[in-house]
Structure 1
Amino acid sequence: MTTTEAAPAPARPAAPPAPSRRGVLADALRWEVRKLRRQYRARVALLGALVGPVLVVVVVHGQSRPPKDTLFGRYALDNGFALSLLVLGFATQWVLPLLTALVAGDIFASEDHHGTWKTVLTRSTGRGTVFWAKTLAAAGFAVLVVLVLGASTITSSLLIVGHQPLTGLTGQLTAPSEALRLVSLSWVSVLAPTLGFTCLALLLSVWSRNPAVGIAAPVVIAMVMQLVGALGGVEPLRPFLLSTPFESWHGLLADPRFTGPLLGGLVTSAVWCAVCLGLGHLVLRRRDITGG
């Protein structure tokens, strides 16, 4: 009597390893950066940050009388460092919030506008991954805009006006090499509040689902904060305004220098970023996307 042995069942192919969270986030971030590169609004913002300061420097340098009623305006026609700081003070009023909001205020709302949330939120990409990918892309763009704007302003000011010793806020003279370092640090110092307004624009973009609100509202809020901060009797409120850290670089141009406002501005900006991102993430998690 013969026995027939059953043939062994073919082995199933091993399932491919699930992608790590870090890998999924990196893929989502690359996709968001790719979309930004193709976005007309982002290109215009970067071009404006590169070319705009050159035009401003040429116009201001061609004036017959200096703008004495502005910070460093008295020396702006004869000193490139002073003109760079004059442009910095002007840019913090509404230019920086606008340039960053052009991307951050639209990056979530555009998905609602085009009805593409169902496409974006695939099974391998959750809401948290999409949120942080868009946040990192918008924050990276904000940093790039500030660096391009600052580099263009400083370079054009020094080439067109000159690099004479800078007269500080307390009347002290600063050598050109040290003045260049301090002016560069002044521009770097506005990165923190700029990121704060970026996060505010992200929150408004998620909450409103409207690109116009996400872009325009941060600019209006920045102007209101500037006006409130200039009023008398609001000293207890000023440290909590996101516009206040834009002025923290003033201590670098005094003698003796003081860095208290810089540290306070970092804390204020960090709190604004944390609150806005926390609320934005919560709103997106509870978002009903069944309609698109």
Structure 2
Amino acid sequence: MTATIAAPTARATASARPTRVATCYRFELVKLLSQWRVRILLAVCWIAPAALVAVVSTQNSLPADTVFGRWMGQSGWAGSLVVLSFAASWVLPFLTSLVAGDVFAVEDRLGTWRHLLVTVRSPGRIFAAKALASVTVVLGLVVGLAVSGTVGALLAVGDDPLVGLGGQLLPSAHAAALVSLAWACALVPVLAFAAVGLLGSVVCGRSPMGLAIPALLAFVLDIAQMLPLPLVVRVALPSYGFIAWRDLFTQPAASGPVVVSVVVGLAWAIVATVLAYVLFTRRDFTDPAYDGAGRRVITRTVAPLALLLGLSVAVLAAVVPASGSGIDGSKLETSLATAYGHLYRLQTRELHRPAVTERELRTSASCDKGGSLVEDRGAGSDWRCVVTWHISGAGAVGSAIYQLDVTPDGRYVADGDGPQEVNGFFQLRTPRGDEPNPLWQFDGSINLLSATTSRG
């Protein structure tokens, strides 16, 4: 008799077990991929960058206002980085909004939570499945952008060496590795924005505001990156990872900004995901009138993220050796002199002159911001630098003047201001065709996290 009763009880217990996460994940992934907007996004991300970069790379007018844009006609690797720079500002946060920002809210709008809970029997597993499915789709979109942009640029231009932000020539294999690493670094802030999208989707319920939260956050942070914020605040923002990869292309390469951006981005992703999980698993699904967290959104979401930002700023202020904006005359002089020395050798080679080395050139720079009454620190378009070098075999010293526009994120554009025969605008005959003088205008970047030095 006991055995007869125990058998049905065991079967009932087994039948009541929650559905496996893997099964739920496949189900949620199929649901996402069946949506027409997701299919369109996948098609656009895997096709559009290749076509766009292939067309732009062959034009006479290149997007010189974008990092590596002026080199798109000379190396296909530059095209991939231009796609990354453009996508980081708007495209990637927008993609996370359309996927992660709606993955929970759609169930509220359709009223399907009861059916889903009856089937799965575990809110935690539902959350895990939806989070993993949305991240999978987002990663598929990012990989599509990277592969499409890279392949399109390489087919249109070729895999010639890439000119780095230190003026150095990066061989094709080295450039390929750095480009891949740059895209990998950008995945971390993407995960942070996706986590914020999940949090917004849980908090806002059926309201469409969840869709806008990652994009709105990206808009605010993009404006913040253009402001003269203290360095420790700038690098504590989750969007810093979208620009930190530039320091991989300087000479010498700097890994510090990348490491900091990865740690900050992962911290945001973990905290936002945990908040979303706690709110979701504690939700009362029996309430048919549920319409988001309402006033509790401030204490349950905004306050913890603000606390994370404040804690990040405090930790970075204690460990980062730089101060203020991180931009000063000494850093700028070192970076400019290094870039000029490399580009001078490139110009020499393209003019078919005898080769020289950086050691023979002994390039140096002297920079001033806004005259003697202004401190030589901070961003601005009023930097003026004089570069000097030793002319090989002539026993003389040459000099060239540059006007620099330095942005708050550490990037600068050097514009040649004479002499004309050195850094003026003229075309050089190269195996790829006529190219502008490499010393005329070029991009550079300084390591904001390096120690601020005083000049004697």
> 2:141 aligned with 1:145, yes or no?
yes
Q: Any conservation in 2 of the 1:45–1:102 contact (CA below 8 Å)? A: no
Cα distance, 1:275 vs structure 2: 1.5
Q: 2:262 corresponds to which letter in structure 1?
A: L
| TM-score calculated relative to the size of structure 1 | 0.90
CA gap of 1:81–1:275, structure 2 versus 1, over 3 A, is same
Please give the alpha-carbon distance, in whole angstroms, between the structure 2 residues aligned to 1:98 and 1:130.
24
Matched, 1:187 2:180: no
Letter in 2 for 1:226: D
Mapped to 2, the partners of 1:20 and 1:251 lie a distance apart of: 54
Change (3 A) 1:133 1:100: same
Q: Which runs of 4+ in 1 moved over 3 A?
A: 8-14, 16-23
Query: Matched residues in 1 for 2:2 and 2:220: separation?
Result: 73
Q: Tell me whether 1:27 sits opposite 2:27 in the alignment.
A: no
Does residue 65 in structure 1 map to residue 61 in structure 2?
yes
Superposition pairs for residues 253-272 of structure 1, below 5 Å?
A: 253-272=249-268
Q: Distance in 1 between matches of 2:56 and 2:270?
A: 38
SS at match of 1:204: helix
Say if 1:226 and 1:243, in contact at 8 Å, map to a contact too. yes
- Distance between the aligned counterparts of 2:154 and 2:139, measured in 1? 23
- The aligned residue for residue 206 of structure 1 is 202
Amino acid at match of 1:208: C
- Assess, with a 3 A threshold, how the Cα gap between structure 1 residues 138 and 124 changes in structure 2: closer, same or farther: closer
Residue in 2 that maps onto 1:232: 228
Specify the alignment match of 1:160 in structure 2. 156
The question of 1:252 aligning with 2:248 is answered: yes
> Which residue number corresponds to residue 101 of structure 2?
105
Cα pair distance change 1:136/1:113, threshold 3 Å: same
Measure how far apart 1:249 and its partner are. Answer: 1.2
Amino acid at match of 1:147: V
* 1:41-92 Cα distance to aligned partner (Å, 9 max, x none): 2111111111120232134224322222221111112221111111110110
Taking a change above 3 Å as real, the CA distance of residues 238 and 19 of structure 1, as seen in their structure-2 partners, is farther
In structure 2, do the counterparts of structure 1 residues 240 and 208 end up closer, same or farther at CA, with 3 Å as the change threshold?
A: same
Trace 1:210-225 onto structure 2 (pairs within 5 A).
210=206, 212-225=208-221
Match of 2:193 in 1: 197
* 1:101 CA drift (Å): 2.0
Structure 1 SS opposite 2:232: coil
Whole-Å separation in 2 of the counterparts to 1:9 and 1:281: 42
Structure 2: gaps spanning 5 or more residues = 290-456
The residue that corresponds to 2:71 in the other structure is: 75
> Equivalents in 2 of 1:154, 1:211: separation in Å?
38
**Larger gyration radius, structure 1 or structure 2:** 2
Larger mean CA deviation between 11-20 and 224-233 belongs to: 11-20
CA distance in 2, matches of 1:58, 1:274: 38
Alpha-carbon shift at residue 185 of structure 1 (Å): 1.4
Q: Deviations over 1:189-231 (max 9, x none)?
A: 1111101100011111111124632222211211210110121
Name the stretch that deviates more: 58-67 or 36-45: 58-67
Task: Give the conservation status (yes or no) of the 8 Å contact 2:244–2:261.
Answer: yes
Q: Which residue identity lines up with residue 41 of structure 1 in the other structure?
A: R
Deviation for aligned residue 1:124: 4.4
- Whether 1:288 and 2:281 are equivalent positions in the alignment is no
Task: Specify the SS of the correspondent of 1:288.
Answer: coil
Once the two structures are TM-superposed, the CA of residue 23 in structure 1 deviates from its matched residue by: 6.0
Task: Tell me the distance in 1 between the aligned counterparts of 2:99 and 2:15.
Answer: 29
SS at match of 1:68: coil
Matches within 5 A, 1:32-71: 32-71=28-67
Deviation of 1:134 (Å): 0.6
Taking structure 2 as the reference length, the TM-score comes to 0.59
Q: Pick from 220, 231, 239: which aligns with 1:243?
A: 239
CA contact (8 A) 1:106 1:211 kept: no
Corresponding position: 1:135 with 2:131: yes
Residue number in structure 2 paired with 1:3: none
Q: Which runs of 5+ in 1 are unaligned?
A: 1-7
* Cα deviations by residue, 1:160-207 (Å, 9 ceiling, x for unpaired): 122111000000001112111111111111111101100011111111
DSSP 3-state at the match of 2:285? coil
CA distance in 1, matches of 2:98, 2:244: 25
Q: Note closer, same or farther for the CA distance 1:169–1:211 as it changes in structure 2 (3 Å cut).
A: farther
The answer to which of 108-117 and 63-72 deviates more is 63-72
CA contact 2:45–2:148 (8 Å) conserved in 1: yes
1:116 corresponds in structure 2 to 112
Of Structure 1 and Structure 2, the greater strand share is in 2
Q: Which amino acid aligns with 1:11?
A: T
| 1:93/1:222 contact within 8 Å kept | yes
Alpha-carbon shift at residue 107 of structure 1 (Å): 0.5
Q: Secondary structure at the match of 1:171?
A: coil
User: Which structure exhibits the higher relative contact order, with contacts defined as CA atoms closer than 8 Å and separated by 6 or more residues?
Assistant: 1
Question: Which amino acid in structure 1 is aligned with residue 261 of structure 2?
Answer: G
Residues 1:66 and 1:268: Cα distance change in structure 2 (over 3 Å): same
Matched residues, number? 285
Q: CA deviation at 1:157?
A: 0.5
**2:4 corresponding residue in structure 1:** 11
